[in-house]
Amino acid sequence: MSRSVSNNIQIPLPIRPVSAFHWDLRLIGLVAVLLTIGLVVLTSASLGIAEDDFGNPFAYVVRQLHALTVGVVALAFMLIVPSETWFKFSPLLLLLALVLLAVVLVPEVGVVVNGSQRWVNLAGIRVQVSEPARLALIMYIAGYAVRQQETLETRFLGLAKPFAVLCLAAALLLAEPDLGAATVLMATALVVLFCAGARIRDLMVFGVLACGAFVALIFDGSYRESRIFSFLNPWADPHGDGYQLTNSLMAIGRGEWFGVGLGNSVQKLFYLPEAHTDFVFAVYAEEFGLAGVAVMVLVLLLLVLRILGIARDAALLEHWFAAYTVLGVGVWLGLQSFVNLGVNLGILPTKGLTLPLVSYGRSSMIIVLAALGFVLRVHHENVIAAAKPKARKRRRQ
């Protein structure tokens, strides 16, 4: 490329043309729809509690918008960093994740809210450490699956190593305590390892061990056991252990086919606890009815399927680290959405998990957008690789 200065002189330009970024408009559109739904229902669900907590009915919406802004910056950062860079640093991401999960348990460092020590204060923002730790651990598992492919596919030890790491992370999460986050992390990681070639017999052994450990934790006589029994029959104690679920079910039932209308929810008026976070779906169902619920569930499903489609494309191009990480993101978001909806509908025990991109939660918003930035980066790399005249056979990165 050159620029003409006179009829006889040509001065070469040192700057090479930069190829345009290849955006996945389907993914972006689905995310935009969910963010819009989330901001609308959050505004409605949080007016009363925000007025009571801060004297400003829009306080939670403003905070969510701040988190959205930071999340967009995080997304942009993930867009400009090649996936291969994350692969090189994936062992350090494991160290970062474990440090975060350990630091939050230190007295005077971790912040206790409702009996759980899950947050740290960072630059004036309360950060739930399980969110960045989960993404870092997914990247570590993806990197391990690529580096130890042969061992993972042929030896018991190949799965024992990452499983030991996952058990350590789960133990730190349970110490907070956060059984929901530990369950989602373990399930997501095992799905990634299965798709990476781990032997089914090995997975069955570790799966049984994990399930046995979780059952033992549930029936250890602590609060978790009472949650199980209240989930099975919340109406047995509607003013005690079943209070949250019964109010959620009443909100969903009031919505009927087309809802009571935006802003007209009754259950959000201090009847339904956590109406703007874990149970925002119940308020949405009350105000928009079954029709609105069908739209939200369809958008969530399409989002997860699109992410899995990008993971498939990366796998076909043999970009294995990118494929496994994007797969992990898709499974994580899909599983967390399923658990949140299941809790609201009374088909799963109560867990402190937000509905991605919809519920109030600044840490969740930022990290989910960062993860989606990685997914968009992988799509861009897929398009570039597929456009090459001859797709070279690649070894696993």
List, for residues 377-391, the tens digit of each pLDDT value: 999 999 999 887 654
Taking residues 301-325, what's their average pLDDT?
Answer: 96
Positive or negative torsion for Cα 239, 242, 244, 247: negative
Query: Would you state the pLDDT for residue 347?
Result: 87
For the stretch 216-225, what's the b/e string if a residue is b when 16 or more beta carbons lie within 10 angstroms of its beta carbon? Answer: ebeeeeeebe
Structure tokens at 395: 């070894």
Quick check: 228 pLDDT over 60?
yes
Task: Grade residue 59 by pLDDT with cuts at 50, 70 and 90.
Answer: very high
Quick check: 11 pLDDT over 70?
no
| CB contact at 8 A, 200 and 159 | no
307: Cβ–Cβ under 8 A, 6 or more apart, which residues? 27, 326, 329, 330, 333, 375
Quick check: 202 pLDDT over 90?
no
Per-residue pLDDT reduced to its tens digit, 334-344: 999 999 999 99
Structure tokens at 147: 């580096």
Taking residues 17-31, what's their average pLDDT?
Answer: 83
Taking residues 13-41, what's their average pLDDT?
Answer: 81
Which of these ranges, 97-106, 192-201, 236-245, 325-334, has the smallest mean pLDDT? 236-245
Per-residue pLDDT reduced to its tens digit, 207-225: 888 888 777 776 765 666 6
| CB contact at 8 A, 30 and 299 | yes
What is the chain's length?
397
- Residue 157 burial (CB count, 10 A): 11
86: Cβ–Cβ under 8 A, 6 or more apart, which residues? 93, 139, 143, 321, 325, 374
Percent of the chain with pLDDT strictly greater than 90: 55
Q: How much is the pTM?
A: 0.89
Quick check: 235 pLDDT over 90?
no
Percent of the chain with pLDDT strictly greater than 70: 89
Taking residues 149-173, what's their average pLDDT?
Answer: 91
224: Cβ–Cβ under 8 A, 6 or more apart, which residues? 179, 217, 218
- Environment class of residue 26 by beta-carbon count within 10 Å: exposed (0-12), middle (13-18) or buried (19+)? middle
